Amino acid sequence: MSEKLNQLNEILGEVSDLNHAGSVLGWDEQVNMPPGGSDARGRQLATLGKIAHEKATSQEVGKLLDELKYEFAGSDSDEAALVRVAARNYDKTMRVPASFVAEQAIAASKAFEAWVEAKSKSDFSIFRPHLEKVVDLVKKYVSFFPPSDHPYDILLDDFEPGLKTAEVQEIFGNLRPKQVELINAIKLARQVGDDFLHKKYNEKKLWDFSEKIIAKFGYDFSRGRQDKAPHPFETSFSVNDVRITNRFEAGSPIATIFSAMHESGHAMYEQGINPAYERTPLENGTSLAVHESQSRMWENLVGRSLPFCEHFFPELKKAFPSQLDGVTAKSFYKGINKVLPSLIRVNADEATYNLHIMLRLEIEIGMADGGIAVKDLPEIWNTKMQEYLGVTPPNDAKGVLQDVHWSGGMVGYFSTYALGNIISAQLWEAINQDIRDLDDQIRKGSFDQLLGWLREKIHVHGHKYDPQDLVQKVTGERIDSAAYVRYLTRKYSDIYGL
């Protein structure tokens, strides 16, 4: 390794350390911190963010990158990828003043606390001024960059490098009518029962069961942990410290199990990244859509599959004999896959889930280009929920306040959920070509070969490849919804006799 690359890695390693320290504070804010600590926590995060920003945008980093770009031009090595990603990050970071980073951190911390209170009271007016501040800062952030085809392109690029708004709209435009057609066909079929999912379940038993499942999947608890938070998430401080959070909802208790599966999918990705990438720009997953493909795969393609139910259901029934009395593995499978347009995104079935995302994408694009004002969000949200899903939220908590992401300024993020669904199906077809007896392995509770495939094809590469390039490298095609449509059609034709 060249001396210049060593110098660059030393500086970027310190930036990584600072960012991870900020992540620890962010994790604590949602898991342990008392409400009164929000102001101080905002300042602490702002200080760390400012120092990291200043280090990342120093003249020394710029000079080293200018020299190293020529040294590694045309190479496909890890070092060349590191320089390429670092240069892209540097160019983006240089455009954003350190003072703005600090201002955004403080605003996000206050907005998160306001969101928690607003959701608990189902009162959007509590959150509104904070979200208005967040959206103003998002627009200010966009102004730091050269004009693009759409302002949203700049926001999307932070989560999906190289992907454009028009590409996402085209992918969703192809998918939406096919999902609507499937949903309409299901509406005409006999509905499946799921009463057993809404009974009272012991929270600790469900929590323990969820940890047993994800440990069997391959989530390494010696390098991770699961804690409670208002909204489930995964966060990574190093390849050897990857944590998840979860929650218990009395009205939807089994969701605890599926949330654990979902977040463990994210976490296993991070635990599987090449350790040599630690403290470099390659140390995380390539994009949020690819990340989401991992979480949705373990939650849905594995966790909501019939082979999985056949393996785990008998044990679940032993833990909850009265709640599951008379329920078979097949009826449990049908129940957890029941299609019914609903209010809450995270609890939505696979057939309707993407419509929640498409709704949010429209709103985000509107907020980014000024077409939608924050004050109008509750009304717009409710109108679009009726338009997309045929349901209207009875209050703000089950409507516009249900997601935490906007409080942190994460505008540009939501499309990655649906893109992740799409990519998961593309990967699943490739996996089944290579692991011909995958269903039998899942039925036996064996996940080593599946995780090994993902480790080799996806996880180990970290951020070496851009999302479209990685998907094409593994599946032979770019991000496309056809495999996902095939998956949904096959699955729900079986469940509903279509």
The catalytic residues are: 263
On the CB side of 69, how many CA atoms lie within 13 Å of its CA?
A: 13
- Nearest-CA neighbor of 305 among 435, 495, 116? 495
Say how far apart CA 350 and CA 278 lie, in whole Å.
35
Phi, psi (deg, nearest 5) at residue 246: -150, 175
Q: What number of other Cβ atoms are within 10 A of residue 57's Cβ?
A: 19
- Nearest-CA neighbor of 164 among 148, 179, 184, 186? 148
Question: What are the start-end ranges of the E strands in 113-238?
Answer: 226-228, 234-238
- Find the distance separating the first CA and the last CA of the chain, reported in whole Å: 59
Type of residue at 156: L
DSSP secondary structure letter of residue 190: P
Report in angstroms the alpha-carbon separations of 295 from 258, 283, 308.
10, 18, 16
Helix runs in 390-466, H state only: 415-434, 438-443, 448-457
Say how far apart CA 11 and CA 58 lie, in whole Å.
9
